[in-house]
């Protein structure tokens, strides 16, 4: 007889595992299927976590090598032990993926290793990693298989020299020249890691700008900053092919109608991600999806067109971000239990973990302009922040966009040290439909970088900051 569960989740990434735990906490019997040996999906295994572990390590190396002198500290003989750095990263990943296995046990979620395929409402086929097939009965089925790296037909991966982000987390030596195709999140984050460790990084970007979804002014500042850090940017450049010459790769591209060639020992292709729908049985089960984007349409209850089958995270509309998937997982599980659940896509923050960091929430200035709303901009530079001076981290600014008539905050963009943590305040304000005046009247501890948010808000609200 088939095993029966209230909920069968396919995919144990940040969307799936969080939904599974939350549903179990709501009293449901839950199974979560994933073909990867370790739980946690792309984010924990080959995405957010290992990349941040390397970003933190490489940042320390960079500081120790070049930035201690100004503080009156001399460090000689600083050297890189790459195997130890990679081992630490693997250890961080293991402790977190083991942590999810522990949470599954604690919450009585059954982890099933294998591939899940929907056979229709209420039925899931599991193919175990040894090929054995079995069927599960499911009160509800949640599709949470996330996404996979998009490939470039003109530059196919070979797993060694032409690689995706997965392999770029584990290069066994520091590339002399690393060509990064795509000036988006992954390209800039992993490009930063290897540039700090000594690679000459050349970014090749198809568009006339990097970070296409980021506020244009901030993206231009990022490009200038990373150029100062030694990265090279080739914009408006379309990759057309590649040739291997010994242990080097020549990437051919077209720029302004001219043929150009970039040579490096490794090439990282980071041109986006695509929903992971292969093998899910969508066609057979009649589950609708967009054949071009592969996204699965869902309503605000995460329901697909097939009764009892739900989807969330990277498989559905919205930013492909771990925290978006996790919050959807919580909302889905709460609704399945008959409670309220909702994720406001307008206030999902995003962070780019380069240095200085970039974070944002809400609309960019271009989006506000396009909407036709009369708006104000309040900016405050970290060069005027006492704490930033103490830290020797004065690069960047806080930029707040507000509705000129109502003062309501429409978007916040931070480029600066610890921007990743500071954006939380702005998310809260926006979630509560707050104004620049609200932020300006909140007490910010002194001396902290967060005072700059208060000052930028004062500029948006009154046209003047106290300290600039």
Residues identified as active-site? 446
If 0-12 CB within 10 Å is exposed, 13-18 middle and 19+ buried, where does residue 157 land?
middle
In 3D, which of 272, 271, 317, 310 has the Cα closest to residue 294? 317
Tokens describing residue 233: 């940017």
For the bound state, the minimum distance from the C-beta of residue 146 to ligand NAD, rounded and expressed in Å, comes to 10
For the bound state, the minimum distance from the C-beta of residue 328 to ligand NAD, rounded and expressed in Å, comes to 15
Do the beta carbons of residue 174 and residue 194 sit within 8 Å? Answer: yes
Tokens describing residue 140: 């509800």
- Cα separations (Å) of 154 from 13, 14, 161, 240, 250? 30, 32, 15, 6, 12
- Beta bridge mates, 381: 397
Do the beta carbons of residue 342 and residue 63 sit within 8 Å? Answer: no
Taking the least distance from each CB to ligand NAD, the nearer of 214 and 450 is: 214
If 0-12 CB within 10 Å is exposed, 13-18 middle and 19+ buried, where does residue 217 land?
middle
Angstrom distance (rounded) from CA 62 to CA 178: 18
Distance between the two ends of the chain, CA-based, in angstroms?
A: 72
In 3D, which of 181, 205, 195, 206 has the Cα closest to residue 228? 195
Taking the least distance from each CB to ligand NAD, the nearer of 151 and 466 is: 151
For the bound state, the minimum distance from the C-beta of residue 299 to ligand NAD, rounded and expressed in Å, comes to 23
Taking the least distance from each CB to ligand NAD, the nearer of 191 and 454 is: 191
Taking the least distance from each CB to ligand NAD, the nearer of 19 and 186 is: 186
- Beta bridge mates, 148: 274
List, in order, residues 6 or more apart from 381 with CB less than 8 Å away.
Answer: 394, 396, 397, 452, 468
For the bound state, the minimum distance from the C-beta of residue 203 to ligand NAD, rounded and expressed in Å, comes to 9
Q: Tell me how many helices (H) and strands (E) the chain has.
A: 14, 21
Do the beta carbons of residue 340 and residue 360 sit within 8 Å? Answer: no
Taking the least distance from each CB to ligand NAD, the nearer of 263 and 438 is: 263
Angstrom distance (rounded) from CA 400 to CA 432: 16
For the bound state, the minimum distance from the C-beta of residue 202 to ligand NAD, rounded and expressed in Å, comes to 12
Task: Kindly tell me the sign of the dihedral angle through the C-alpha atoms of 420, 182, 369, 315.
Answer: negative
Taking the least distance from each CB to ligand NAD, the nearer of 10 and 155 is: 155
Residue nearest to ligand NAD (CB): 184
Residues forming the site for ligand NAD (CB under 6 A): 152, 181-187, 189, 204-207, 212, 238-239, 270-273, 319-321, 350-353
Taking the least distance from each CB to ligand NAD, the nearer of 289 and 380 is: 289
For the bound state, the minimum distance from the C-beta of residue 350 to ligand NAD, rounded and expressed in Å, comes to 6
For the bound state, the minimum distance from the C-beta of residue 180 to ligand NAD, rounded and expressed in Å, comes to 9
């Amino acid at each position: 007889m088939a095993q029966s569960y209230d909920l069968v989740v396919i995919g144990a990434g940040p969307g799936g595992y969080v939904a599974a735990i939350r549903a179990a906490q709501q009293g449901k019997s839950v199974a979560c299927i994933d073909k990867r040996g370790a739980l946690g999906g792309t984010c924990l295994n080959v995405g957010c976590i290992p990349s941040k572990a390397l970003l933190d390590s490489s940042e320390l190396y960079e500081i120790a090598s070049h930035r201690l002198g100004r503080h009156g500290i001399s460090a000689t003989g600083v050297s890189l032990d790459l195997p130890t750095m990679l081992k630490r990263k693997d250890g961080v990943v293991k402790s977190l993926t083991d942590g999810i296995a522990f949470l599954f046990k604690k919450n009585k979620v059954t982890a099933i290793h294998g591939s899940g395929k929907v056979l229709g409402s209420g039925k899931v086929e599991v193919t175990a990693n040894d090929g054995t097939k079995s069927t599960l009965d499911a009160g509800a089925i949640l599709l949470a298989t996330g996404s996979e790296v998009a490939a470039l037909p003109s530059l196919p991966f070979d797993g060694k020299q032409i690689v995706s982000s997965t392999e770029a987390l584990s290069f066994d030596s520091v590339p002399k020249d690393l060509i990064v195709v795509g000036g988006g999140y992954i390209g800039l984050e992993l490009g930063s890691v290897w540039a700090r460790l000594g690679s000459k990084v050349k970014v090749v970007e198809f568009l006339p700008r990097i970070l296409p979804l980021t506020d244009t002014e901030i993206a231009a500042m990022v490009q200038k900053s990373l150029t100062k850090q030694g990265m090279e940017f080739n914009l408006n450049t379309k990759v057309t092919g590649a040739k291997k010459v010994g242990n080097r790769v020549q990437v051919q591209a077209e720029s302004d109608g001219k043929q150009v060639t970039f040579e490096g020992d490794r090439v990282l292709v980071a041109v986006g991600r695509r929903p992971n729908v292969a093998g899910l049985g969508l066609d057979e089960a009649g589950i609708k999806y967009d054949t071009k984007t592969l996204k699965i349409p869902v309503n605000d209850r995460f329901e697909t067109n097939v009764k009892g089958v739900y989807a969330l995270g990277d498989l559905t509309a919205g930013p492909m971000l771990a925290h978006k998937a996790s919050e959807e997982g919580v909302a889905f599980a709460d609704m399945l239990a008959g409670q309220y659940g909702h994720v406001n896509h307008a206030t999902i923050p995003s962070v780019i973990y380069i240095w200085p960091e970039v974070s944002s929430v809400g609309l960019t200035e271009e989006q506000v302009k396009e909407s036709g709303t009369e708006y104000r901009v309040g900016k405050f530079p970290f060069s005027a922040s006492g704490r930033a001076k103490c830290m020797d981290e004065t690069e960047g600014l806080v930029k707040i966009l507000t509705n000129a008539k109502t003062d309501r905050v429409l978007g916040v963009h931070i480029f600066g040290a610890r921007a990743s943590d500071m954006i939380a305040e702005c998310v809260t304000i926006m979630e509560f439909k707050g104004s620049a005046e609200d932020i300006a009247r909140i007490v910010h501890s002194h001396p902290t970088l967060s005072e700059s948010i208060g000052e930028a808000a004062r500029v948006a609200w009154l046209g003047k900051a106290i300290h600039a």
